């Protein structure tokens, strides 16, 4: 502890990121804020950085530290493998550090320049899944320098991370569009705070509250913004919820995409990227079916003046409505942690890595193409649950029970990233695959949308169809045979 009684920080990592954090801490707090650096590099161990010693190797010295109960640990090694993070976390926790924080992945640190405001409490997501790849965001985002970029669903998990990373891209303006006032307020406030602390470049951030289900509004706003690039993440995503609300799913996921594509074409946008899901592959849920139709709308768009493309990937760790936040709440309540089936497995990727790859694909991708993110191998859901329970200091099935509750409507045991009529091919970019596929003909797609329109929107000549969910499901199933139709499906 420093002489004035303040907590000091032990920084794991004496590299550029760790040194950046230490220099900022000294500038903003006090000269003794950094107690020491911990590192495994033999060339650094035994040296000093601005008076703070570099100790190591990490696993050997943590238990020997002469620290105070208030002292903190900050992991400043953004490229660290997951297995190392797990070892360090367990060791730091056993050593009794009052607080353990971590810097974000390399995808959020530009040219090694880290900022204290980016540090956050370590959580289970940092220890799950595979080690993300490092992506040079400044290079990846060169295609957006000086451009006006629109993010739909900017208050959601993917949209908000897109916004954070786009701060580094040199865009002229970032439009944060959503229909949820509070979520847009939160990401707008966060971006402004990051900018005040020196993160990213000085893009003008513009929060926009609006309803994309209104095609007149969509056309107006796209013309008004003079947008160069659109990243379309807005969608309803909760599979069981949408099984009970299929008409709203189609309105929001299908027709919003159609409105946005048409408005982007008319406004002369240069680039349009749809964020999609592995649920589109032979979908058994309304959600998957709506995202498949959204993909086809984008891939069938007129790409003579602009690039329309789709980036498809599986689950991301920690997104809203995903299992990780649910498991966290269940563990905090003392359990049980609920899993649908012991055989259930899913692809997983961290949100920052997925977003970095989406941004990369948006630059290297060609118009009219579908791209897949290489998600690695699927992880058993039970394994995720067990790791999370242990992170919070409990033993699975002993202190926190795991309970199987059965599959819910629209769910699958496993997911696939591509269908039997799709062929993944190397794209030339690490962890991004191109896909050869047979698109539904534009005429067939237009015919289906014409069928679905009077079900979603009131039309005087088809009032008997309005909000008829049975008719809607039957219409979609004629075009997507994998979607089940129950004889018990209610009309409304």
Do 223 and 247 lie in one domain? The reply is: yes
Q: What is the pLDDT of residue 105?
A: 66
Whether residue 276 sits in one domain with residue 320: yes
Do residues 253 and 370 share a domain?
yes
pLDDT of residue 91: 94
Q: What is the pLDDT of residue 4?
A: 55
CATH number for 84: 3.40.50.720
Q: What is the Cα–Cα distance from 402 to 395, expressed in whole angstroms?
A: 10
Query: Are residue 142 and residue 164 in the same domain, yes or no?
Result: yes
Domain check: are 115 and 223 in the same one?
Answer: no
Decide if 154 contacts 182 (C-beta within 8 A).
Answer: no
Q: Does residue 2 belong to any structural domain of this protein?
A: no
Residue 431 falls inside a structural domain? yes
152 shares its domain with 45: no
The three-class DSSP label of residue 237 is coil
Asked if 239 and 324 sit in the same domain, the reply is: yes
Claim to verify: residue 317 and residue 423 sit in the same structural domain: yes
Is residue 360 among the annotated active site residues? no
Position 168 in a domain? yes
Cβ atoms of 362 and 368 closer than 8 Å:
no
- The reported pLDDT for the residue numbered 321 is 67
User: At which of 54, 88, 122 does a domain end?
Assistant: 122
- The beta-carbon contacts of 339-342 under 8 Å, at least 24 apart in sequence, are 339/381, 339/382, 339/385, 339/402, 339/403, 339/404, 339/405, 340/381, 340/404, 340/405, 340/406, 340/407, 340/408, 340/411, 341/404, 341/406, 341/407, 341/413, 342/382, 342/404
**Domain presence at residue 486:** no
Q: Phi, psi at residue 310, to the nearest 5°?
A: -125, 135
Mean pLDDT, consecutive 10-residue segments, the chain of 492 residues? 70 93 83 89 95 95 90 91 92 93 68 77 83 78 94 96 89 95 97 89 93 95 96 95 96 98 95 97 97 96 85 86 87 96 90 92 92 91 94 94 93 92 92 89 94 96 94 96 91 90
Is 67 inside any structural domain?
Answer: yes
Is the domain of 112 the same as that of 156? Answer: no
Q: What domain count does the chain have?
A: 3
Report DSSP letters for 320-342, one per residue: TTSHHHHHHHHHHTT-PEEES-T
Residue 432 lies in a domain: yes
Q: Domain end: 122, 157, 181, which one?
A: 122
- Same-domain status, 102 and 153: no
Instruction: Note the pLDDT of residue 1.
Output: 45
User: Does residue 130 form part of some domain?
Assistant: no
Tokens of 330: 């269940």
Selecting among 279, 291, 360, 412, the annotated active-site residue is: 279
Please tell me whether residues 233 and 374 are part of one structural domain. Answer: yes
Same domain, 145 and 255: yes
- How many CB atoms lie under 10 A from the CB of residue 54? 19
Q: Which residue range is the domain that position 195 belongs to?
A: 137-437
Domain annotation covers residue 485:
no
Ramachandran angles phi, psi of 391, nearest 5°:
-55, -40
Per-residue model confidence (pLDDT) at position 188: 97
């Amino acid at each position: 502890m420093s002489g004035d009684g303040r907590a000091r920080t032990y920084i794991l990592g004496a590299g550029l990121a760790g040194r950046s954090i230490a220099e900022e801490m000294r500038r903003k707090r006090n000269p003794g804020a950094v107690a020491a650096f911990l590192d495994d590099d033999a060339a650094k161990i035994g040296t000093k950085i601005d008076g703070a010693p570099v100790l190591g190797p990490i696993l050997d010295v943590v238990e020997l530290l002469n620290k105070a109960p208030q002292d903190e640990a900050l992991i400043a090694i953004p490229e660290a493998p997951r297995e190392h993070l797990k070892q360090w976390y367990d060791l730091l926790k056993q050593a009794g550090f009052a607080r353990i924080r971590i810097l974000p992945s390399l995808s959020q640190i530009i040219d090694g320049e880290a900022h204290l405001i980016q540090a956050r409490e370590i959580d289970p997501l940092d220890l799950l899944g595979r080690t993300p790849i490092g992506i040079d965001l400044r290079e990846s985002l060169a295609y957006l320098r000086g451009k006006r970029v629109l993010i739909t669903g900017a208050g959601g998990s993917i949209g908000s991370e897109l916004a954070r990373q786009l701060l580094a891209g040199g865009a002229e303006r970032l439009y944060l569009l959503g229909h949820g006032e509070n979520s847009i307020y939160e990401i707008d406030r966060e971006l402004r705070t990051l900018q005040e602390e020196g993160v990213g470049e000085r893009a003008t951030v513009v929060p926009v509250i609006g309803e994309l289900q209104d095609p007149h509004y969509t056309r107006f706003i796209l013309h008004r913004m003079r947008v160069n690039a659109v990243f379309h993440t807005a969608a309803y995503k909760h599979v069981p919820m949408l099984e009970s609300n299929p008409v709203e799913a189609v309105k929001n996921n299908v027709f919003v995409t159609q409105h946005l594509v048409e408005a982007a074409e008319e406004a002369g946008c240069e680039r349009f990227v749809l964020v999609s899901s592995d649920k589109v592959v032979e979908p058994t849920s309304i959600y998957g079916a709506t995202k498949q139709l959204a993909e086809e709308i984008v891939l069938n768009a007129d790409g003579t003046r602009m690039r329309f493309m789709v980036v498809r990937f599986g689950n991301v760790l920690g997104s809203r409505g995903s299992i990780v936040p649910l498991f966290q709440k269940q563990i905090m309540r003392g359990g049980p942690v609920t899993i649908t089936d012991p055989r259930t497995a899913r692809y997983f990727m961290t949100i920052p890595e997925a977003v970095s790859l989406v941004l990369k694909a948006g630059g290297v991708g060609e118009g009219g193409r579908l791209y897949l993110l290489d998600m690695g191998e699927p992880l058993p859901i039970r394994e995720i649950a067990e790791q999370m329970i242990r992170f919070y200091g409990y033993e699975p099935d002993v202190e926190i029970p795991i309970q199987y509750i059965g599959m819910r409507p629209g769910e699958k045991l496993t997911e696939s990233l591509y269908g039997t009529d799709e062929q993944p091919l190397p794209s030339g970019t690490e962890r991004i695959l191109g896909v050869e596929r047979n698109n539904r003909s534009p005429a067939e797609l237009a015919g289906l949308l014409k069928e679905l329109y009077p079900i979603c929107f009131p039309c005087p000549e088809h009032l008997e169809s309005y909000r008829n969910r049975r008719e809607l499901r039957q219409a979609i199933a004629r075009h997507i045979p994998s979607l089940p139709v129950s004889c018990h499906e209610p009309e409304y």
